[in-house]
Amino acid sequence: MIDNFESCYRAARSRDARFDGWFIVAVTSTGIYCRPSCPAITPKRRNIRFYPTAAAAQAAGFRACLRCRPDAVPGSPAWDARADVAGRAMRLINDGVVDREGVSGLARRLGYTERHLGRLLVAEVGAGPLALARARRAHVARLLVETTRMPAGEIAFAAGFSSIRQFNDTFRAVFSTTPTALRRKGVRLQRTGPAGISLRLPRRAPFDGEGLLRFLGERAVTGVEEFSGGTYRRTLRLPHAAGVVGISNTEDHVRCDLRLEDPRDLGPAVERCRRLLDLDTDPVAVAEVLGADPLLGPAVRATPGRRVPRTVDGAELALRAVLGQQVSVAGARTLAGRLLGRCGDPLPGSLAGSGEGLTHLFPAPAAVANADLRGLGVPGSRAGALRDLARVLAAGEVSVEPGADREETGQRLRALRGIGPWTASYIAMRALGDPDVALASDLGVRRAVERLGQQGDPASVTVLAERWRPWRSYAIQYLWASLDARPSPKKGAVA
């Protein structure tokens, strides 16, 4: 349980939605756990317990509230920002690693024994890997029960359960109801086609969705991405098969339309879309630091809720970052399009028609490592750097996925030919989700600082950026956005 009872109780009593996802409110008199903003009457103090995760509350014998849906909230910002083993483990579990590779696979990725990892997670988040994965499967299953007409057997398989019995038992334990009863109560959203689902992704306010989607749209690679009518669409390379997603912002949530070849990819697809949009961050915490800064304060107040555009595929982002070094955004798109034509995988026929411009999956690292890069339009040294990066990514010698050790990954990237501090830092910001990347040498950042009346040399920007810790990655977004033409012609955010 969480020790800081008074702070949590004040948040629950005020029904402060900002804390949804930060912790769970469990009520001993009812046996139910809720989100802090649950509209029900606040229970008596003696009947309340606080837990860091839904899995911890479930392990203590509580079941989910069907009124406030505590599993359908933004994730805890702590797990997204933390670089320690617990944070890395939570990101991997949310991506479905335990379902695909077991606890042994999770432990192997993190470099710990299963036993030690289990003790660490119980101490940090109140539940072990299996319990955390079970809570995730229950959430995915509920989504499928309420938003599709898939039979129960298919839902159990898609959500990662090993049997119908396990699926039903988990449903009763977590929701105190059956899948059939929950489906009757649920509101079915419109399906988008075969294996297609429309979802509402929760996010914390304020949220600059328009600016975020425009950033992604400006960098859209024809064939893989498209942006029109306020909707960003792209193809997805997922653990079991391919998918296509369309994302648009609404007044109180993000709409996510998914089409999947394999329903088992629903959980990872949703998690990667959330990661792409940085939905689990705490914008109020960011604004408290950056909004008080005399340089950035006006921009933060004018456009609250900026996010760091992330990625659905760390390897893709890393390859595009190297490919787009020292060129404009338009030039980077052109080069990525040429690479796509040489070694991209055509979108499967079952997903055809998902978008007029969506035709391919971005090339996998192994394909790039073996591709003929002559005539691509980049210097030979950069082609060599691209091939070397693709080779180590394909071999698993460098990981740029959410569970990677950020410091170790940065060191290994900088050790590769043609990858310097800027590129490694840019990958850390967008692929690894590091919230505190400075990019002091970036020409766009330096120009923005100069326009704001400060010295723009890297040393001066480095000193200035100390005021923006631990949210320097978010400060960069405000600086880039302050330029009339974002980003700069060279060394800008081109990937």
- What is the spatial distance between Cα 18 and Cα 26, in angstroms, rounded to a whole number? 18
Q: Please say whether the beta carbons of 383 and 417 come within 8 A.
A: no
Q: Max alpha carbon distance in the chain (Å)?
A: 71
Catalytic one among 80, 278, 313, 442? Answer: 442
DSSP state of 256: E
Q: Mark whether 8 is an active-site residue.
A: no
- What is the spatial distance between Cα 482 and Cα 331, in angstroms, rounded to a whole number? 22
Q: Mark whether 65 is an active-site residue.
A: no
Strand order from edge to edge, sheet including 254-260: 196-201, 254-260, 242-249, 231-237, 225-228
Catalytic one among 8, 20, 34, 313? Answer: 34
Residue from 366, 369, 372, 365 nearest 342 by CA: 372
- What is the spatial distance between Cα 401 and Cα 95, in angstroms, rounded to a whole number? 10
Q: Please say whether the beta carbons of 400 and 431 come within 8 A.
A: yes
DSSP state of 383: H
Listed as own residue / partner, the contacts of 167-176 with beta carbons closer than 8 Å and 24 or more positions apart are 167/141, 170/134, 170/137, 170/138, 170/141, 171/138, 171/141, 173/58, 173/63, 174/58, 174/63, 174/64, 174/135, 174/138, 175/63, 175/64, 175/66, 175/138, 175/142, 176/63, 176/64, 176/66
* Phi, psi for residue 359 in degrees, rounded to 5: -130, -20
Strands (E), 314-368: 345-346, 360-361
Give the burial class of 375: count Cβ atoms within 10 A of its Cβ; 0-12 exposed, 13-18 middle, 19 or more buried: exposed
* Phi, psi for residue 291 in degrees, rounded to 5: -70, -25
- Per the structure block, which two tokens stand in for 421? 């501090």
**How many degrees, rounded to 5, is the angle at CA 179 between CA 270 and CA 43?**
85
Q: Please say whether the beta carbons of 150 and 277 come within 8 A.
A: no
Residue labelled with tokens 């991997």: 92
In sequence order, the 6+-apart residues with CB closer than 8 A to the CB of 203 are 74, 253, 254, 277, 279
Residues annotated as catalytic (active site), given as ranges: 34, 442
